[in-house]
């Protein structure tokens, strides 16, 4: 349904071009939930923003191809993109506190989106808003529809935002860290809601997050990004049971363990993400990677078998050795 090929996004700055997204290709199929994981600066948000054409910066240079239902989106004039935005592809953002216009009621804002894309009466739009608020689990939707954003709690606001995004039945919902600004119990509710959406509305979801726990909860497929490139990609099962890239190992290791003896120190990936202005030659993760060897001076391509790809030069044997070493290391440390 959505095919992104060789997407490159860079920004012209006074210090030179900054490659935020470096040759990224991925697919999203109907009704699937794709998790996109990475640190800040990994390019995960920018790549999805460019799908919607929401990058407003005049210094941005976007190349590649974004095909949605057979139609090339990159290069489409704003006039036409507007028909796609909100109607076919919807996006929700991180902070529900500031995502809604403070001076209009949530019912008005949902109705506005409905009315923009559908020729219906105001009353019908309002009805639809109430239906949507009910579907996302907001209590007393008939009165909630006339409330202002500041009158709702964070979790309720995010639900309202999700309701608004789904108002025109989009085939794809892009959720950019929807639960990061919420507390954990609310996070669980929102994730449950997102799964339910796939069932009830039939939309595919791209869930951007830096939290592996979130991904483990809801995603069908996962792609891990680092410094603007995809470093590993596969089904959730493959990724969690049999991760191949050292960065993914690092991410999984850094999750505090729920069982076993309490570690003295939490594990983290040593070093810092590279500045996008001064990317290392070859594999961007190289300098931080414990298993770096001389081949890593070249850029590894994303390759693999049976749907599980990785961008790493470690041979399967070397990987297996590193893996067992890692497991041993875990046991030894605890």
Partner 1 sequence: MFGAIVKRLGQMLFVMVGISVLVFLIFFATPGADPASRIAGRNASPETLEAVRKDFGFDRPLYVQYGLLMERLFITQDLTSFVNRGWKVVPAVFDVAPVTLSLVTGAAILWVIGGVVIGLVAAATRGSILDRTLMMLGLIGVSMPVYWLGEVMNLITQSRFHDAWVFAWVPPLGYKALTEDPGGWFLTLVIPWVTLATLYMGLYGRVLRANLVEAGQEDYIRTARAKGLSETRILVRHALRTSLITIVTLFGLDFGALVGGAALLTEVVFGLQGIGKLTYDSLRNFDLPVIMATVMYASFFVVIANAAVDVVYVVLDPRIRKA
- The site for partner 1 (CB under 8 A) is made up of 52, 54, 78, 82-87, 90-93, 95, 98-104, 112-113, 116-117, 148, 150, 161, 164-165
Pick the closest to residue 209 from 168, 181, 243 (CA basis): 181
All residues at 6 or more sequence positions from 298 whose CB lies less than 8 Å from its CB, including other chains: 282, 283, 313
Residue placing its CB nearer to partner 1 in the complex, 84 or 276: 84
User: To the nearest whole angstrom, how small is the minimum distance from the Cβ of residue 168 to partner 1?
Assistant: 8
User: To the nearest whole angstrom, how small is the minimum distance from the Cβ of residue 275 to partner 1?
Assistant: 24
User: To the nearest whole angstrom, how small is the minimum distance from the Cβ of residue 49 to partner 1?
Assistant: 9
Residue placing its CB nearer to partner 1 in the complex, 170 or 243: 170
User: To the nearest whole angstrom, how small is the minimum distance from the Cβ of residue 157 to partner 1?
Assistant: 11
User: To the nearest whole angstrom, how small is the minimum distance from the Cβ of residue 307 to partner 1?
Assistant: 30
DSSP code of 265?
S
User: To the nearest whole angstrom, how small is the minimum distance from the Cβ of residue 255 to partner 1?
Assistant: 29
Collapsing DSSP to helix, strand or coil, 281 comes out as coil
Q: Nearest 5°: phi and psi at 285?
A: -85, -10
Residue placing its CB nearer to partner 1 in the complex, 113 or 248: 113
**What is the distance between the alpha carbons of residues 198 and 196, in angstroms, rounded to a whole number?**
5
Residue placing its CB nearer to partner 1 in the complex, 91 or 132: 91
> Which token pair is 324?
């067992």
Cα diameter, the chain: 67
Length of the chain: 334
User: Of all helices (H) and strands (E), which one includes residue 159?
Assistant: helix 154-165
Pick the closest to residue 330 from 258, 281, 267 (CA basis): 267
**What is the distance between the alpha carbons of residues 132 and 162, in angstroms, rounded to a whole number?**
9
User: To the nearest whole angstrom, how small is the minimum distance from the Cβ of residue 312 to partner 1?
Assistant: 35
User: Of all helices (H) and strands (E), which one includes residue 231?
Assistant: strand 229-235
Residue placing its CB nearer to partner 1 in the complex, 25 or 118: 118
Residue placing its CB nearer to partner 1 in the complex, 75 or 213: 75
Residue placing its CB nearer to partner 1 in the complex, 110 or 283: 110
Collapsing DSSP to helix, strand or coil, 56 comes out as coil
């Amino acid at each position: 349904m959505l095919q992104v090929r060789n997407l490159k996004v860079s920004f012209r700055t006074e210090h030179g071009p900054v490659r935020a997204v470096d040759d990224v290709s991925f697919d999203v199929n109907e009704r699937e939930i794709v998790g996109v994981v990475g640190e800040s600066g990994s390019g995960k948000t920018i790549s999805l923003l460019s799908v919607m054409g929401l990058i407003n910066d005049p210094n941005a240079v976007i190349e590649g191809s974004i095909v949605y239902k057979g139609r090339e989106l990159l290069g489409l004039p704003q006039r036409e993109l507007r028909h796609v935005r909100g109607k076919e592809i919807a996006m929700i953002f991180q902070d529900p506190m500031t995502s809604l216009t403070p001076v209009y009621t949530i019912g008005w804002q949902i109705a506005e989106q409905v009315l923009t894309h559908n020729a219906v009466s105001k009353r019908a739009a309002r009805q639809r808003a109430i239906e949507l608020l009910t579907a996302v689990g907001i209590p007393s939707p008939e009165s909630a529809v006339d409330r202002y954003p500041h009158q709702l709690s964070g979790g309720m606001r995010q639900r309202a935002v999700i309701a608004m995004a789904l108002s025109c039945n989009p085939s794809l919902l892009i959720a950019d860290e929807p639960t990061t600004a919420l507390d954990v119990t609310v996070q669980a509710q929102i994730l449950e809601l997102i799964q339910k959406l796939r069932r009830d509305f039939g939309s595919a979801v791209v869930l951007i997050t830096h939290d592996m726990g979130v991904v483990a909860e809801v995603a069908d497929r996962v792609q891990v990004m680092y410094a603007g490139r995809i470093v590993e990609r596969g089904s959730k099962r493959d990724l969690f049971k049999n991760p191949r890239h050292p960065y993914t190992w690092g991410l999984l290791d850094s999750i505090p363990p729920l069982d076993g003896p309490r570690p003295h120190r939490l594990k983290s990936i040593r070093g810092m993400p590279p500045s996008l202005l001064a990317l290392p030659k070859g594999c961007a993760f190289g300098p931080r990677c414990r298993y770096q060897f001389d081949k890593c001076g070249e850029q590894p391509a994303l390759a693999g078998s049976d749907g599980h790809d990785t961008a790493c030069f470690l041979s399967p044997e070397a990987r297996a050795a590193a893996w067992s070493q890692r497991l041993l290391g875990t046991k030894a440390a605890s």
